[in-house]
Amino acid sequence: MMTTLYNPLVNGFHPDPSVVRVDDVWYLATSTFEYLPGIPIHRSHDFETWELIGHVATRPGQLGVEDVPTAGGAWAPTLRHRDGVFHLVVSDAMGRGMLHFTATDAAGPWSDGASILDVDGIRPLDGIDPDIAWDHDGTVVITYSGLILDGPERGRHLGIQQARVDLDTHRATEPVRSIWSGTGGQFPEAPHLYAHEGRWYVLIAEGGTERGHGISIARGDRPDGPFETAPHNPLVSARSTIRPVQNTGHGDLVVGPDGHWLCVLLGVRPRSMTRAFSALGRETFVTPVRWRDDGWPEIDPVQLSPRPGTAREISFDVPLDREWIAVRALPGQVARVADGRLVLRGTGATLDDPRPVFVGRRQEHLTNEVTVDIDVSSGTGGIAVRYDERFHVEVEAGDGAVRARAVVAGLVQEWRHEIGSAPMPLQLHIASRRPEDAGGLARTSDVFHLAATVGGERIELAEVDGRFLSSETAESFTGRVIGAYAVTGEVAVTRWRVSGSDE
């Protein structure tokens, strides 16, 4: 079966991909950090069309993200399948620690998650980006990146670590050991261990998840090494190139639909004069892999091949679909669907708060526009594009006015237009568009256009430089999420229209 390798494979905020093949079906998991539901699972029958079938964390407490700091939460899952059971290991950074989840159906429900403990059974293994593999005798091997996240040594990196683990007790059966940690690049992370044609291969990311990112590999005769470094590392990296997809790394290998190997990995699509700003954050990409005669794999550079644009209208006469996410809470905890409306009740928290009353969807395209019909006759709220509580733009209505607002690392600018007792609902608009050609090279990723339509009249409120909501400026692990929010009282959205393209 031949397939089209779209790139991005999964658009928008979907970093740290891990993939597994079960018969002729592929399943993909990605990171979610402080958002819930956590860890989406996509499924494909052809590696071209991907369907979001569920999430791992759909119940309170499965991921301890309610109080994690920004950039904490679900980091870098590894998804595998063995003897009819799906296994997923993940770091709940600054939350529950290193966890192991299971399910017989990748769509869920998934287990509550068990902590993977040290040999003394006292605390979770101290590290991130865990991988799970099985030795030939069925012994479980957990390999991970030894980044310490708490205590007096917080921030210290111990390289790639490994231990055998008993899944009945979730305790290591031996002291942790250090194994191959790359070629000297910073932050060796995202290890994956594979048995292939009589050898064991350990694939890692190194160089940091920014422009220096890359993938390296080593091999040995046993899962615990010793490991021989590949002579052609890094296998893939976009560093110091003009490729349209940058930061390529954090990969996972799988056999594709035509029997050829593939690597899913993260990357970004930067724009601007120096291609400095990645509006959507880290997305999932794919690229071909070949095994050389000497037994080493080669990975092709990632090619940009975007999907066609989309246009969609969402009504609220049915429950919210799986694409909706909320911040440190499940969508049903901050919003409800009733009488054809998406209803949010404010608590006084604004988008500056770590737990806003906000529910949204990932921005999927570089050029994008969202329009909502909203009733604020009983409250104050609006629509927003959020990176985190320190980086967001919004159009807000209530108290007789509409306001556009940009919040950038504590700097706030606001534009206000009085509307009095205007009829409801209003229409609020946020568009991200390419900068207009002013005769020079654009020095930003895009421009936000913030507007409202009141009584049939469109009011252009503001334009905001899109670079302020990019992964490089916000230094966030997430990406743009566009959503509705409430600050006070009751806010109701009756219609949601979104369109976008990557031209």
Residue 403 DSSP code: E
Q: How far is CA 97 from CA 19, 90, 150, 189, 204, in A?
A: 22, 8, 10, 16, 21
Q: Is 14 exposed, middle or buried (0-12, 13-18, 19+ CB in 10 A)?
A: buried
Contacting residues for 171 by C-beta, under 8 A, at least 6 apart: 117, 118, 119, 121, 165
The domains found in the chain, sorted by start residue, are 18-231 (2.115.10.20), 310-501 (2.60.120.200)
pLDDT tens per residue, range 33-42: 999 999 999 9
What is the secondary structure of 256-315 as a DSSP string?
-TTS-EEEEEEEE--BTTTT-B-TT--EEEEEEEEE-TTS-EEEPPPPPBPPPPEEEEE-
Q: How far is CA 26 from CA 21, 364, 456, in A?
A: 4, 21, 48
Count Cβ atoms below 10 Å from residue 227 Cβ, excluding itself.
Answer: 20
| Residue closest to 214 by CA, chosen among 202, 205, 226 | 205
Catalytic residue of the set 16, 252, 394, 463: 16
Count Cβ atoms below 10 Å from residue 435 Cβ, excluding itself.
Answer: 18
The stretch 212-234 carries a mean pLDDT of 98
Weakest-pLDDT range from 12-16, 119-123, 300-304: 119-123
Q: Are the C-beta atoms of 74 and 89 separated by less than 8 Å?
A: no
The stretch 375-395 carries a mean pLDDT of 98
pLDDT of the residue at 438 = 67
Give the percent of the chain with pLDDT over 70.
Answer: 99
pLDDT tens per residue, range 44-101: 999 999 999 999 999 999 999 999 999 999 999 999 999 999 999 999 999 999 999 9
What's the chain's average pLDDT? 96
Q: Is the pLDDT of residue 433 over 60?
A: yes
Q: Is the pLDDT of residue 121 over 80?
A: yes
Query: pLDDT category, 395, cuts 50, 70, 90?
Result: very high
Q: Is the pLDDT of residue 439 over 80?
A: no
pLDDT of the residue at 79 = 99
- 437 carries an active-site annotation: no
Catalytic residue of the set 34, 126, 129, 189: 189
The stretch 314-321 carries a mean pLDDT of 95
Residue type, 116: I
Half-sphere exposure of 343 (CA within 13 A, CB side): 13
Q: Is the pLDDT of residue 2 over 90?
A: no
pLDDT of the residue at 332 = 97
pLDDT of the residue at 1 = 46
Prediction pTM value: 0.97
Query: pLDDT category, 3, cuts 50, 70, 90?
Result: low
The C-alpha atoms of residue 399 and residue 419 are separated, in whole angstroms, by 9
Query: pLDDT category, 327, cuts 50, 70, 90?
Result: very high
- 396 carries an active-site annotation: no
C-alpha of 217 from chain center: 24
The β-bridge relationship of strands 447-454 and 283-291 is unpaired
State residue 281 phi and psi, 5-degree precision.
75, -160
